[in-house]
Structure 1
Amino acid sequence: MASLRDLGLSEYEARAYRALLRVGATTAKELSRASDVPMGRIYDVLNSLEQYHLIRSQAASRPKKYVAVEPDTALDRLLESKREELEEKASQYESVVDELAVELDAAEPVHDQFWTAAVGADETIDLLIERLAAADESLIMVAGTPSPQFDLGAVGDIVLEELESALDRGVDVSLLMSPDLVESLPERVGQQYVDTLADHPGFHVRTAENVTGVFNLIDGVEVCIEVPNPMDPGQAFALIDLKDPEFAANLRETFNPRWEAAVPLSF
């Protein structure tokens, strides 16, 4: 059950405000009895409620009397106070993240061999987006068969956003596709790339025959290989992420001549 405590009031503050709504304008002594807030605490509670702008006081009367503001107004003020508190917290966390990002990025990267895999559509996309976001220098994307990376749904939109972010942070993006895949893509996919990426100097797209499979080469040291669903080739079944500089270098050597011979594509 919802409580005023959920919006930041203490138990005594909540009792006092509810009692003021019931009894109307009253003194601190009378409110202490009506709310079961100890007399030794009632003035602190009333001062706190005034700071929240949940009550008003009649200073001219002797003894001083208090009245509650209307519930709608009180709840709006409590909600706004919580919003400001959360925004301040978010700002503090963002500052912490900025400081830690500088500190952690200063560490020398370790390029030991390591591999992991994700199985299932959601897990595959999560891993793919994570690795795309990790690119610092270069991102080579090779697609010879249908892939959710280039669809019109939520996955394609997320990948597009990650590519845009990568370009904004200075990553060079090269996309090599088979002509058959280009022909199979809905026109709107090409339009999305035109609207979002085509004019960026770091984005390059080419087509070449005999391009098969789907993989991403990240910073020359890491490879993400998409495993298609055998029942639905347009959907990813799994993603293998392999961090192996030697394997990545060999893959780059195979890629380079195909890229040089490929035909630039205009969407």
Structure 2
Amino acid sequence: MTELGELGLSSYEEKVYRTLLVTGAVTAADLSESSGVPKGRIYDVLNGLEARKLIRMQSNNPKQYVAVQPEIVVDRLLAERTYELKQEWNRYRKRAETVRSNLLPTPPAESSFWLGSLGSEEMSTALQQHMRTAEDFVHAIVGTPYENTTWETLQIEVGAFFDGANADLTVDLLLSEKVVTVLPDRFPRLINGQSADVTIRTIPEVVLSFDVIDRVETTIDIPHPVAGDDRIGVLGIKDSHVVKEFERYFQHLWATADPFLE
């Protein structure tokens, strides 16, 4: 493909435009002969180029065409390609959102409960999607069952959590002291490298792990009834009264917590 072809000109359009640069003003019939574009196609090609403002008609008796200056043509072709690529990008982004939604675990219609163990791929995807709904803040309490697992497992959920967080988000994390013992020495560097504004505090014990997003939704980790180092799933609640109560509980614990690593 030629350079003009990459910018959006067909082979006939390129032949006509390049010929006009050499001949100057010329009729369609003469241009067909000079460029090698068949007479049955020449008017379609000329009309297309003229509509895109890459050539113009100079006189009407007889009708003659001239090429627009090359630097202007290149800028216009580049603008066309930029617009087309932007449209294509938007189409792929919408398709990706659809695929992402289809990959999420689907809750039963009568509830908002998702089965999913710690570190599982489907729940990591769900956690990223959950975090993408946050616009202003996330308040999260992390204890059981995270404090009983390994960093290798916990790291998967931490990564998914921050992968979904936007750069303008405020994140307040309240960790149990037992969770802190699971974290590696590099954990502070990992947190400092996040784009979101993250503050961490600790408390001796956490009875229940949950988060609150924008005072609109809370998700609660349901510990596994048999395996102490796992959960059976996550319960999502949007009832305003319930969310308000969990936010109130978070703020009560946050006020009495200690700064992390101070």
Instruction: Give TM-score scaled by structure 2 length.
Output: 0.54
Partner of 2:14: 17
Give the SS at the match of 2:204.
coil
Q: For residues 157 and 220 of structure 1, do their structure 2 counterparts lie closer, same or farther at Cα, with a shift above 3 Å needed?
A: closer
CA contact (8 A) 1:147 1:214 kept: no
Q: For residues 85 and 174 of structure 1, do their structure 2 counterparts lie closer, same or farther at Cα, with a shift above 3 Å needed?
A: closer
Give the SS at the match of 1:183.
helix
Q: For residues 213-247 of structure 1, give each alpha carbon's deviation from its aligned partner in whole angstroms, at most 9, with x where no partner exists.
A: 6421224442123468999x68x985432212333
Gaps of 5+ in 1: 54-63, 94-112, 168-172
- Higher relative contact order (CA closer than 8 Å, sequence separation 6+): 1
Within the alignment, does 1:165 sit opposite 2:163 as a pair?
no
Structure 2 distance, partners of 1:79, 1:237, is: 56
Structure 2 distance, partners of 1:252, 1:25, is: 74
- Structure 1 residue 19: Cα displacement: 7.1
CA contact (8 A) 2:219 2:237 kept: yes
CA RMSD, aligned part only?
5.3
1:109-124 matches, within 5 Å, as: 115=112, 117=114, 121=120, 123-124=122-123
- Structure 1 residue 86: Cα displacement: 4.6
Which of 252, 257, 261 in structure 2 is aligned with 1:262? 257
CA contact (8 A) 2:200 2:260 kept: yes
Partner of 1:61: none
Partner of 1:102: none
Within the alignment, does 1:143 sit opposite 2:142 as a pair?
yes
Q: For residues 250 and 85 of structure 1, do their structure 2 counterparts lie closer, same or farther at Cα, with a shift above 3 Å needed?
A: closer
Give the SS at the match of 2:169.
helix
- Structure 1 residue 177: Cα displacement: 0.5
Structure 2 distance, partners of 1:197, 1:185, is: 20
Q: Write the letter of the residue equivalent to 1:36.
A: P
- Structure 1 residue 190: Cα displacement: 1.0
Q: For residues 85 and 225 of structure 1, do their structure 2 counterparts lie closer, same or farther at Cα, with a shift above 3 Å needed?
A: same
1:64-75 matches, within 5 Å, as: none
Q: For residues 140 and 18 of structure 1, do their structure 2 counterparts lie closer, same or farther at Cα, with a shift above 3 Å needed?
A: same
Q: For residues 237 and 7 of structure 1, do their structure 2 counterparts lie closer, same or farther at Cα, with a shift above 3 Å needed?
A: farther
Q: Write the letter of the residue equivalent to 2:237.
A: L
Partner of 1:189: 187
1:1-267 matches, within 5 Å, as: 8-9=8-9, 14-18=11-15, 28-32=28-32, 34-38=36-40, 40-41=43-44, 43-44=46-47, 47=50, 51-52=53-54, 80-86=78-84, 115=112, 117=114, 121=120, 123-135=122-134, 138-144=137-143, 145=146, 146=154, 148-151=156-159, 155=160, 157-159=162-164, 161-162=165-166, 164-167=167-170, 173-194=171-192, 196=194, 204-211=199-206, 214-226=209-221, 239-252=234-247, 254-266=249-261
Instruction: Give TM-score scaled by structure 1 length.
Output: 0.54
Q: For residues 83 and 239 of structure 1, do their structure 2 counterparts lie closer, same or farther at Cα, with a shift above 3 Å needed?
A: farther
Structure 1 distance, partners of 2:16, 2:115, is: 57
